[in-house]
Structure formats: structure tokens, C-alpha cells
């Protein structure tokens, strides 16, 4: 998820907020100022009430960040690299660079978040009691009490047993510990997440239809999100299982057609792209070294009258080092990053020569074949091509009415 507002670094981890996090803060502020505080405390001046509401909403966002930081720092403790933490409309996402190395670390990384939320709840509750005893205004006590209650809910909600929620990770760790097979444990946790998501969404629908509560809309949103994220995780897990033990050489398209920086888009379509079955092409410079990548889709969006004047060098995308592989590299890690130019996962180079490319479409096909070959096929494999998401991240949700 893209960070719209960078918020700095904590212990070297990039912290930021997606633009949709603003919606979350505004909504919490509105619920607190318009409904919660007026119902708990009578006759509060509007300025005091709305100040308390804004401070409360920001404090809740900070508590959410603490929840994610607890996951991130525990992950790092077990040697799992953490790239970033991003707050968004439905909570926070910690992007981990790798999977937890053992069932034990999986368990502790997962429970650290809810533990932090319960800790925050105790803290807010304690301060509320102290402030109440010291005779502070009732609105401050009410706000702190609400923060304590919300953090308890946050901790409990995240412990629901289905991926991608923390409870799903705990379930995965437990199954992994019991049966010793991480991939199968992850499949079961993803399946539980899909069911959990559907149950949450159904409860939301019931809330809206039977009790006419608009809060049910949130539950529907979260349910759909959980179900989708769980499906994507299951598919990514299957893909990674199918590729386990394979080398880049086994999955690449050898001797791909290539473009050159000096070719115009018109020439490239006429002489290369339209005669090829590839959708993406490496582009080389005058020394025949890799300079970039172009996709048929991207080139097709350039207006036709500019084709004779635009060169591939002007329109290609750069290829970051993570997208360059050697034939003997393992294939599974290629799934960890999103494709370039819509389809390219790696350019394969040997002796400074381009010997192959690995595309997303090709890997999806391989994974699908593998599934059909397996003795006990996964039941929900049909959604693979649509749902398959090569980005490995840990998504966390946190909202409830
Ligand atoms: Zn969490």
C-alpha cells in the first residue's frame, strides 16, 4: 500500500499513512464528538467536546500504530525484516520482508499486536481513573474511557481466528506446530479467513436489514476485505508451494524477443511486438546490456501519431535490481514483488546476456498445472488467476461498531 503521508521512521521502519487513514480519523472523531461524548457527559461546550473528539481520534490512531509496531519489533526480534508500517481506512498493515522462520516466532509475532492493544487499554483505563480521582472534567474521563474500550475491542477483534487477522496467524502457528507443515497450516488459516469474512459480512447485512443500523455497512466492508485478503493469501501460498524447489531456469521463457532503446514504437510494433506472443519485452542499449522494460499494454496507450517519433528508450520503465535473476536462483522468491509493466517478474541474465524472462502469466499457468497434477486438488483453486497476488504482506483490520 502506498504511503501518502510519510510520518518518519521508528527503529528504522518506514511509518506512514495512506490517504484513506484520514477517513478513519475523521469518522472516529465524528462518532466520538457527535455521539459517544454527548451520550456520556451532559452539557459539554461544543469546543471542549470537539477538541476532546479530535485528540481522542488521533490517540486511537497512535494506539493502532503501537499495535503494528509491536508486530514489527517482534518480527525483527526473530530476524524477519520489516519494510514499513502503513495506516489506512481499516487499520494498519505491517509489510514483512519474509515469512516467520518457525511456528513459535509466527505465534509471538501475531499475539504481540493484540497484547499491545490490551496494554494500551489498561494504560488509558488507568489514566482515566487517575484523572477522575484528581477531579478533571468529566469529558476527559469519558474520552479516556472510550479509548480504553476501543483498544479492548481492537485486541479482541484482531484475535478472531482467520487470516489475515492476528487470530488467523495464531491459528496458523498452532496448526504448523501440530502438523509440522507450514504451507498446509497457512492454507487452513486462509480458508478460515474466507469463512470468517463471509460471516462478518452476513452479520453486517443482518444489522442493516433487521436492525436498520448503518454501522452494519462497516461490518460488510470489513467482512469483504477479510474474505478477499484471505483468498489472495491462500492463492499466493499455493503458488509458492507449487514453485518450491524450482529454479528460475525451469520457469523462464528462454531466449525472449527484445527491443532496443533507439527503436521507435512504430518500428518495434511492426518488427517485434506484433510477431511475438510476449506481452513484455526487455529493452537493451547500444552495448546490448539491459536498459529497461516495455509492455504492449503501456505502448498501446501512446497515441498512434506519436509512434514514429517516440523511442523505446524514452518510454521504457527501469528494471530495479530485485527484478534481475540468474538461471540457478530459486523461483519462489520471484512471487514476492508486483510485476513490472503489468507482467514481468524477472529478466534472467547469464554472462551479461539476457537468456530469459519470467512473467506473471507464465507462473500462473505453471501453478495452475501443478494444482491439476496434485492428487488432492485445492477446492478453491479456480479463483487463482483472478486473486493471485504476488505481494506478501500482513494485513490487519481494526474497526467495529
Ligand atoms: Zn495485529
Which run of H or of E encompasses 325? strand 324-325
Q: Residue 66: its pLDDT value, please?
A: 93
pLDDT value at residue 389 = 35
67 is in an annotated binding site: yes
Rounded to a whole number of angstroms, the CA Rg of the chain reads 25
Q: What's the confidence (pLDDT) of residue 398?
A: 34
343 is in an annotated binding site: no
Average pLDDT over residues 179-186: 88
pLDDT at 65: 92
The CATH H-level superfamily of 248-364 is CBS-domain (3.10.580.10)
Average pLDDT, the chain: 86
Rounded distance, CA 232 to CA 334, Å?
Answer: 16
pLDDT tens per residue, range 7-60: 888 888 888 888 888 888 898 899 888 888 888 888 878 888 899 899 999 999
The band of 385, judged by pLDDT with boundaries at 50, 70 and 90, is: very low
Q: Report the separation in Å between the CA atom of 394 and the middle of ligand 1, taken as the mean of its atom positions.
A: 9
Neighbours of ion ligand 1 (CB under 5 A): 113, 158, 166, 396
Residue 273 is predicted with a pLDDT of 92
Going by their DSSP bridges, the two strands 91-96 and 394-395 should be labelled as antiparallel
Q: How far apart are CA 20 and CA 106, in angstroms?
A: 29
Among residues 88, 90, 114, the alpha carbon closest in space to that of 7 is found at 88
Could you report how far apart the first and last alpha carbons of the chain are, in Å?
Answer: 25
Q: Among 68, 143, 233, 368, which one carries the catalytic annotation?
A: 68
Query: In the prediction, which pLDDT does 276 show?
Result: 92
How far does residue 250's CA lie from ligand 1's centre (Å)?
37
Q: For residues 164 and 397, what is the distance between their CA atoms, to the nearest angstrom?
A: 8
Inter-axis angle of helices 138-158 and 46-77, nearest 10: 30
Encode 236-256: b = buried (16+ Cβ within 10 Å), e = exposed: bbbbbbbbeeeebbebbeeeb
Encode pLDDT of 208-256 as tens digits.
999 887 778 888 998 998 999 898 888 878 888 888 888 999 999 999 9
Q: Is 71 annotated as a binding residue?
A: yes
264-316 pLDDT per residue, tens: 999 999 999 999 999 999 999 998 899 999 999 999 999 999 999 999 999 99
Residue 392, pLDDT > 50, answer no
Taking the CA atoms of 263, 265, 269 and 273 in sequence, report the sign of the dihedral they define. Answer: positive
pLDDT digits (tens, 9 = 90+) for 90-129: 778 888 877 888 999 999 999 999 999 999 999 999 999 9
Q: How far is CA 315 from the centre of its chain?
A: 29
- What average pLDDT score do residues 329-353 get? 87
279 alpha carbon – ligand 1 mean position (Å) = 39
Q: Are 384 and 238 in contact (CB under 8 A)?
A: yes
Residues with Cβ within 8 Å of 365's Cβ and at least 6 positions away in sequence, in order, are none
Ligand 1 midpoint to CA 227 (Å): 17
The residue ranges of every structural domain in the chain are 5-245, 248-364
CA–centroid distance, residue 326 to ligand 1 (Å)? 36
Task: Yes or no: say if 65 and 15 are a contact pair by the CB < 8 Å rule.
Answer: yes
Higher-confidence residue of 391 and 85: namely 85
pLDDT of residue 375: 63
Indicate if 368 belongs to the active site.
no
Residues 83 and 14: their CA atoms lie apart, in Å, by 7
Q: CB neighbours of 181 closer than 8 A, spacing ≥ 6?
A: none
Amino acid at each position: 500500500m502506498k504511503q501518502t503521508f510519510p510520518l518518519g521512521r521508528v527503529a528504522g521502519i518506514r511509518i506512514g499513512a495512506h490517504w484513506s487513514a484520514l477517513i478513519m480519523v475523521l469518522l472516529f472523531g465524528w462518532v466520538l464528538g457527535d455521539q459517544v461524548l454527548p451520550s456520556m457527559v451532559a452539557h459539554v461546550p461544543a469546543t471542549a467536546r470537539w477538541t476532546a473528539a479530535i485528540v481522542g481520534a488521533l490517540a486511537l490512531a497512535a494506539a493502532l500504530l503501537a499495535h503494528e509496531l509491536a508486530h514489527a519489533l517482534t518480527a525483527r526480534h526473530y530476524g524477519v525484516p520489516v519494510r514499513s508500517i502503513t495506516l489506512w481506512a481499516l487499520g494498519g498493515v505491517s509489510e514483512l520482508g519474509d515469512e516467520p522462520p518457525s511456528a513459535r516466532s509466527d505465534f509471538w509475532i501475531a499475539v504481540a499486536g493484540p497484547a499491545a492493544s490490551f496494554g494500551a487499554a489498561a494504560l488509558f483505563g488507568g489514566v482515566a481513573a487517575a484523572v477522575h480521582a484528581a477531579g478533571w472534567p468529566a469529558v476527559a474521563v469519558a474520552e479516556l474511557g472510550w479509548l480504553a474500550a476501543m483498544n479492548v475491542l481492537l485486541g479482541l477483534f484482531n484475535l478472531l481466528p482467520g487470516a489475515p487477522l492476528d487470530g488467523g496467524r495464531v491459528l496458523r502457528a498452532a496448526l504448523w506446530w501440530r502438523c509440522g507443515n507450514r504451507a498446509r497450516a497457512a492454507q487452513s488459516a486462509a480458508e478460515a479467513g474466507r469463512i470468517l469474512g463471509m460471516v462478518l459480512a452476513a452479520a453486517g447485512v443482518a444489522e442493516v436489514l433487521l436492525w436498520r443500523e448503518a454501522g452494519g455497512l462497516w461490518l460488510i466492508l470489513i467482512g469483504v476485505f477479510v474474505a478477499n485478503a484471505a483468498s489472495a493469501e491462500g492463492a499466493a501460498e499455493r503458488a509458492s508451494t507449487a514453485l518450491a524447489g524450482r529454479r528460475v531456469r525451469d520457469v523462464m521463457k528462454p531466449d525472449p524477443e527484445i527491443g532496443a532503446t533507439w527503436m521507435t514504437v512504430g518500428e518495434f510494433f511492426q518488427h517485434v511486438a506484433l510477431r511475438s506472443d510476449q506481452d513484455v519485452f526487455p529493452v537493451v542499449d547500444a552495448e546490448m546490456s539491459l536498459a529497461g522494460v516495455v509492455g504492449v499494454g503501456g505502448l498501446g496507450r501512446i497515441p498512434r501519431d506519436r509512434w514514429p517519433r517516440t523511442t523505446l528508450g524514452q518510454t521504457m520503465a527501469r528494471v530495479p535490481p530485485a527484478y534481475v535473476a540468474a538461471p540457478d536462483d530459486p523461483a519462489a522468491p520471484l512471487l514476492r514483488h508486483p510485476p513490472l509493466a503489468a507482467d514481468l517478474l524477472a529478466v534472467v541474465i547469464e554472462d551479461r546476456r539476457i537468456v530469459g524472462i519470467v512473467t506473471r502469466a507464465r507462473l500462473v499457468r505453471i501453478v495452475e498445472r501443478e494444482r491439476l497434477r496434485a492428487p488432492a486438488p485445492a477446492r478453491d483453486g479456480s479463483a487463482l488467476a483472478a486473486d493471485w497476488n504476488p505481494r506478501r504482506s500482513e494485513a490487519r483490520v481494526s474497526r467495529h461498531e
